Structure 1
């Protein structure tokens, strides 16, 4: 039976340990009120979508519209306004917007035309000749081609000559020579027209698409090799990274002090020879002294951290091996980011389309002065904007959280299984568990991130506006930056806590608040272990991503340099590198999530078992060996300061 477990102060019950062996035993629906709120929220999102599609026209943003409320390249019969001429016209085959006076684009009449003028027109007769020859009338729709030169239609046709030769830019007729509109735009267009940079870049992509596909496949191979290296050679890689970090920090600090000493020596020589000192030399001495001190402090901190964590590095190595075993048993975990990415792209596509319709959900009004149709914002649309933005953040975080809970549930099911060879379709079971029991907890965690991210985005917008305004208050800018920085740090911390909370949800089946509380106390009680994982482990995985990207880019550079027909081979190399990093991130980010989930499973295993015949560990032989070697120290750390009310290290 589903229970609306949403309390933040629930006490552990006696059946928690039993849940480790059976993920469905005594498991109920969690955070039902939040799930109901999320469903109601999406009902509002659907209402906004229906309202936007019924009142808006997204094609106005693409093809533009004329001054009479007609969308170009579209039949506007349903948009006709009573007692208003030139509305509701069929503009199929007229995709371009032409401005009667391009120098006043916001005030002049806009028309939908078949073709932008491809020649310079010097007089009204030229307008008529162009209309006859090209079939594109540059006058108002109520002016027939044979009446263009009549004096009665002078105000309905271009009055300022010449009418410049134009190119279509986003379906708008923009003069090829933009000197009259500003030097910067003219320089930009001149550069694009002369160099054809974009055309050459596109031709390079077309000429090298086969090689790019092969390089993407090579990136996939490199990513798999990196996963195998981390799995089978974790101990070597971890200690190599630590050694490189120590040597690099010591060498960098020594070089800075050597540079500072060299500058001081040169200044002393100048003083001895009574050579006047330059101000820049004195500043360089001070700067290198500051750099050297900072580097020394950071190096000492790094060495102390490594010294303190030296016994925890073994846990990193053991969990790397354990994560490799888990991924070998459930290889479909590696493609979870792909499904998440596809879901996010589908949602973003939907969100952008509705946003386009929402932005054009305006009220049309006839302007008696200009004779044009003006658009005014609907009174409720401003509220819909905020609602739609919150929907973007909350739903995006919900989709990401679903992946985290599925991965955590899969890892927990695999870890807490006595006979792992008999497991089948572990991911399916984890997805079923999430859908039937814990969608409310996922929605709750995503909402917590939304509560932090939305204010940060608002402050960033205010800061941008304040910075661009003249005479801005520097003190206010500084305060806004501090608030943005604090919210960003809080968001990072909450995301890390949420990910661990989802693991506890998967293990124990408790609500989000209860799971987050337990995850928090577990992290605090095992701070050194968590620090070892998140400093050494994550750093190694990041270097793995960079390694895959660099290797793929190096092969691409060597290969593309042999193709003499390419103009800018850096463009296909850059795209290949972006894809390579994405592929490596898909593989290694799952590795990172698996390791974080295994850490909590490992702590729960140590707390609830002691390795005896009656209470054997769930860990594999490799991880069990590490547990046996450090069991006394680990138990002291995880069982420290227990009270009857709380057990900080117990899950």
Structure 2
């Protein structure tokens, strides 16, 4: 083609070539975009200053202040100023993986202190006097507790879940009452759940367990069998015996929790508890329960799944190791099988579309001649059946498949030469990756940097979010029995709170002293409170939060750019080495060093542009959330257009940056010059770019599917045909894990392969325009590429 045989001078002045250019030689490089690198370092220094300011002035405890069932912040809101601990009626219900999303489905109330003894209503109601029972009762409000005058009142309040039916002696953890166990109760706990580390003994009769151990104990003690639960709770109550106190003069010593095992009285309970679920099984069971009929069956299914995971871990590990080896082998074999795989796949797509057209026409004729009555059931299955019983549905599907078949067929015919170039470049990429195998594992380094950046940004953001003064609003609590849905309590304020009104600002302490339902009897407001609304940040903190968000975007884009630049330098060095056998050792290390010494400024420049674009998109989302209450169609249309435009802009900038880094790797120019050269080069070879990009994407997708399917099928047949090695409840458990992990692994490997092909493609375009095959300017491309383009070197040297 003409564009391959002569220099094209579109898009500006004719290109000037350096006759002595021989690829990305590090000795001829200089630092690029130094001012932007200095700005980046100054930005990181400012970010560090904000981080130390946030840590010094922030308090993460503000983020974990508990909230009760009435949306009151314990120890902060007016009605619970002296109640800073949160008590759960049934803490066992909080062991659910969806609790962080949906909340714990049990009543929660703020209390002055966590219970110091175990209480079980069903076992103690006939053993303790009425006054003692009332004293031990924990209810949603003081009103509920004051209304308890008889056993019937207590039973009714418990049945209505206004008071707790039972609870275990607890200790505060993050201001939440978590179960606390005495050493005697350890005999009811499986040995593998006992804490292994030594604890400080402060002279008390009990030792508090950390959160993770508490969760395990909850898992061990909770069971669907109500009778067994009552036996356990009764045992807890009976074994909570005070121990001898330690003298105040005695220094605290470290000693492990001792468990005294009784062999007769609690043997049955011990056996049952030892068969209790592990924490992982509990989580899996609760998760399955949301999609499975029956809690007990779901819990059993969760146990079996966890058991299968624990029994098949080595099989999963072996399968992933085989997938790793198979990925490397496939990348190496791609140089020979890229063309057959692609053309067979294209043929398969064309045949599949033809069969789909035939089937659609057949169904169209059938339903056109068949009279049917729509299914009037209101469900998804009925709606789907009605759609596929419509003749027009199959007609539209036939038209769509026919157009797709014609378009794909024409593209294959028109772009066949460029598809051959894409296949040849894929083979070249296979050679490059195979000869520099360390590039496959380089993304691990980028992941580590990315995780550190995310952790840093999130930590700084959390600390910044806690700096400021709390803002309180006077609100009425929700009341489902009221016509308006909220309480109609007539709460009146006087004195310093005389100007307080519902929805306005307030101060909890002033509210408690000056707001009453009845001033004469000083009856406090119960259903109206001065509640925490938000933390009002000073202007400096607000700007610091924006600074932190922008820093997160800039740093993460910088890390991604660093990875692209190192790989681009590595593969560009491979391409521009005339004799591939002479590729320098430690090419990846040399590229790493060149990137750090010369091109960090270019990376900072490119990532800065992306960060600004992403920040604008975030600002548009924030503006959209603020303007939703106005419900203005014009505003929504403008914002929608702006969001779409900046999304397209960011996508284009990502593509341009990637090619700019490759051009910078080749020539060592700054970002703007590299981006300009990359854009002009791509536009001069637009059809080639489209063909290569789509063909390689299709090839890589097929390769990932092939490896993932092979890993899953191989694991399944191994498990089925070797029952003597492993016995599983569900063969699908290890197969599913292997399939997911294998797809992630192959995605990482072929991501590096994709970068290799993109780099070699731009190098190939540069080679076509820069060189003519003469002894002074020989082609660096492979013989296959020269054969496709009808070119050859006038030298007798080998080029591949």
Partner of 1:215: 319
TM-score (ref. length: structure 1): 0.73
5 Å-filtered alignment, 1:596-635, equals: 596-629=758-791
5 Å-filtered alignment, 1:582-601, equals: 582-601=744-763
| Deviation at residue 113 of structure 1 after TM alignment | 3.8
| Deviation at residue 466 of structure 1 after TM alignment | 7.7
Which structure features the higher share of helix residues? Answer: 1
Residues 541 and 297 of structure 1, relative CA distance in 2, 3 Å threshold: same
> CA offsets, 1:83-118, max 9 Å, x none?
xx989x9xxxxxx84279999999964557488977
| Deviation at residue 191 of structure 1 after TM alignment | 6.6
> CA offsets, 1:34-87, max 9 Å, x none?
222222222232123212222233355468598447xxxxxxxxxxxxxxx989
| Deviation at residue 290 of structure 1 after TM alignment | 2.4
Partner of 1:77: none
Distance in 1 between the 2:411 and 2:736 partners? 37
Contact residue 98 and residue 111 of structure 1 kept, 8 A: no
5 Å-filtered alignment, 1:85-484, equals: 97-98=86-87, 109=110, 113=114, 119=120, 125-126=132-133, 162-165=163-166, 172=176, 195-196=298-299, 201-266=305-370, 284-363=390-469, 367-368=508-509, 369-370=511-512, 376-379=535-538, 380-422=540-582, 423-460=584-621, 480-481=639-640, 483-484=642-643
Partner of 1:504: 663
Secondary structure in structure 2 of the residue aligned to 1:418: coil
| Deviation at residue 558 of structure 1 after TM alignment | 4.1
Moved more, 18-27 or 363-372: 363-372
Distance in 1 between the 2:42 and 2:447 partners? 25
Distance in 2 between the 1:363 and 1:476 partners? 34
Partner of 1:47: 49
> CA offsets, 1:577-611, max 9 Å, x none?
22211210121111111001101100111111111
Residues 560 and 430 of structure 1, relative CA distance in 2, 3 Å threshold: same
Distance in 2 between the 1:503 and 1:221 partners? 29
Note if 1:545 corresponds to 2:704: yes
Contact residue 338 and residue 426 of structure 2 kept, 8 A: yes
| Deviation at residue 28 of structure 1 after TM alignment | 2.4
| Deviation at residue 458 of structure 1 after TM alignment | 4.5
Distance in 1 between the 2:565 and 2:332 partners? 25
Contact residue 19 and residue 25 of structure 1 kept, 8 A: no
Distance in 2 between the 1:370 and 1:577 partners? 60
Distance in 1 between the 2:407 and 2:790 partners? 30
Task: Name structure 2 gaps, 5 residues minimum.
Answer: 1-10, 68-72, 92-103, 143-157, 180-221, 224-286, 373-384, 472-506, 514-529, 794-800
Moved more, 246-255 or 53-62: 53-62
Secondary structure in structure 2 of the residue aligned to 1:237: helix
Secondary structure in structure 1 of the residue aligned to 2:598: helix
Partner of 1:32: 34
Task: Name structure 1 gaps, 5 residues minimum.
Answer: 1-8, 70-84, 90-95, 132-137, 141-157, 178-184, 269-278, 632-651
Distance in 2 between the 1:170 and 1:459 partners? 40
Aligned residues: 562
Distance in 1 between the 2:558 and 2:756 partners? 19
Contact residue 20 and residue 507 of structure 1 kept, 8 A: no
Secondary structure in structure 2 of the residue aligned to 1:394: helix
| Deviation at residue 315 of structure 1 after TM alignment | 0.8
Distance in 2 between the 1:325 and 1:301 partners? 33
Distance in 1 between the 2:110 and 2:707 partners? 55
Contact residue 10 and residue 514 of structure 1 kept, 8 A: no
> Which of 664, 669, 672 is equivalent to 1:513?
672
Contact residue 100 and residue 109 of structure 1 kept, 8 A: no
| Deviation at residue 384 of structure 1 after TM alignment | 2.8
Contact residue 62 and residue 170 of structure 1 kept, 8 A: no
Larger Rg: 2
Residues 595 and 373 of structure 1, relative CA distance in 2, 3 Å threshold: same
Secondary structure in structure 2 of the residue aligned to 1:288: helix
Give the aligned CA root-mean-square deviation in angstroms: 4.7
> CA offsets, 1:514-566, max 9 Å, x none?
21121112111112211221111111101111222222222334455677965
Partner of 2:685: 526
> CA offsets, 1:240-283, max 9 Å, x none?
12212222233323332333233334469xxxxxxxxxx96898
Contact residue 398 and residue 442 of structure 1 kept, 8 A: yes
Contact residue 786 and residue 792 of structure 2 kept, 8 A: no
Secondary structure in structure 2 of the residue aligned to 1:312: helix
TM-score (ref. length: structure 2): 0.61
Q: Higher relative contact order by CA 8 Å / sep ≥ 6: 1 or 2?
A: 1
